């Protein structure tokens, strides 16, 4: 069965991103990056709740054993955010200051490590390929795993946890790496898919090991087989879909965030749903979102 649109959340985001289904509160969470807020949706009532943040949020993760706490990749670095009072326990801030870069897309691997990439947004301050892919281990320490990146996106992990997918959006390429499940080391970089329509943005993996990749500028989400072939294309009512995530009953709802950023007046009139969240019913369920396993040294 092809994916079927079953609803739209009138979010009106500038840059909606990073949807995550939280089974603890049965809400969909996402970030409106430019408005500096984390948002959540109760699908049953349609209620949307906002949490203001002091910096833009590129991505975030649920934390194992700590309900109400997210590990957040803020624009300058990573910190543990307590949702109830907004308190932040900063871990590391490698982009603090005028670096010309900020943190962007991120996701937790099957072993509980959090991966987040940076992006260049000011070429006057940073070389266009000076962004990187970072890994955060249980201690909270950050390690650079890939360099020479322009805009990090599309982080996702195969069901067995041995393959990591990663996109550098301007290059219109999605890569696959071998992932050592014990050490977190990556190797064997290879081209997984060459993108011909739009630019690869956020991604997720379903229970059959297929990669769902949002295509910024093309108004679609593409499902790739594990060998990279395109096997399904889901059209969205916004030209800038940003990231898909599975949630809802049986993880059979595909939520897709989108952006209205940089659209002209004419394009905004033609796309009244730009910046909204789209919900599709799918036949193949997703996988539960992994949680960050935080085991800090006593000094943190």
Token look-up 């060459």 returns: 194
Rg (CA), the chain: 18
Strands (E), 96-162: 101-108, 114-120, 131-136, 142-149, 152-157
Q: Are 245 and 252 in contact (CB under 8 A)?
A: no
Does residue 137 have an active-site annotation? Answer: no
Of 222, 255, 211, 189, which is closest to residue 28 (Cα–Cα)?
255
Query: Angle at CA 151, nearest 5°, toward 91 and 263?
Result: 115
Q: Are strands 211-216 and 78-82 parallel, antiparallel or unpaired?
A: unpaired
Cβ atoms of residues 160 and 141 within 8 Å: no
Of 94, 204, 207, which Cα lies nearest the Cα of 155?
A: 204
The residue written with tokens 């036949």 in the block is 283
Q: How far lies 213's CA from each of 92, 165, 232, in Å?
A: 29, 10, 11
SS3 category, 30: strand
Task: Name, in order, each residue with C-beta under 8 angstroms of 134's C-beta and a sequence gap of 6 or more.
Answer: 94, 115, 116, 117, 118, 142, 143, 144, 145
Query: Token pair of 98, please?
Result: 């005028």
* Residue of 109, 201, 206, 276 with catalytic role: 201
What is 189-218 written as a DSSP string?
EEEEEE--SSEEEEEEEBTTSPEEEEEETT
Catalytic residues: 201
């Amino acid at each position: 069965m092809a994916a079927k649109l079953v609803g739209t959340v009138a979010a009106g985001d500038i840059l909606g991103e990073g949807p995550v289904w939280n089974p603890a509160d049965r809400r969909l969470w996402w970030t409106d990056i430019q408005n500096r807020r984390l948002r959540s949706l109760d699908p049953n009532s349609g209620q949307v709740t906002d949490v203001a943040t002091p910096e833009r949020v590129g991505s975030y993760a649920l934390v194992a054993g700590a309900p109400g706490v997210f590990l957040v990749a803020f624009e300058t670095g990573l910190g543990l955010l307590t949702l109830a009072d907004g308190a932040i326990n900063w871990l590391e801030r490698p982009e603090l200051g005028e670096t010309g870069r900020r943190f962007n897309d991120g996701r937790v691997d099957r072993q509980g490590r959090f991966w987040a990439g940076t992006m260049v947004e000011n070429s006057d301050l940073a070389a266009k390929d000076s962004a990187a892919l970072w890994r955060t281990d249980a201690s909270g320490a950050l390690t650079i795993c890939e360099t020479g990146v322009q805009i990090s996106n599309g982080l996702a992990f195969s069901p067995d946890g041995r393959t990591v997918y990663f996109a550098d959006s301007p290059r219109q390429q999605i890569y696959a790496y071998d992932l050592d499940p014990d050490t977190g080391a990556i190797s064997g970089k290879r081209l997984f898919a060459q993108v011909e329509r739009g630019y690869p943005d956020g991604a997720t993996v379903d229970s059959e090991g297929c990669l769902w990749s949002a295509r910024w500028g093309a108004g679609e989400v593409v499902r790739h087989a594990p060998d990279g072939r395109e096997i399904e294309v889901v059209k969205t009512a916004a030209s800038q879909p940003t990231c898909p995530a599975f949630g809802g009953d049986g993880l059979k709802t595909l939520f897709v965030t989108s952006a209205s950023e940089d659209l002209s007046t004419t394009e905004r009139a033609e796309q009244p749903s730009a910046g909204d969240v789209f919900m599709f019913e799918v036949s193949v369920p997703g996988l539960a979102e992994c949680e960050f396993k935080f085991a800090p040294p006593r000094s943190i």
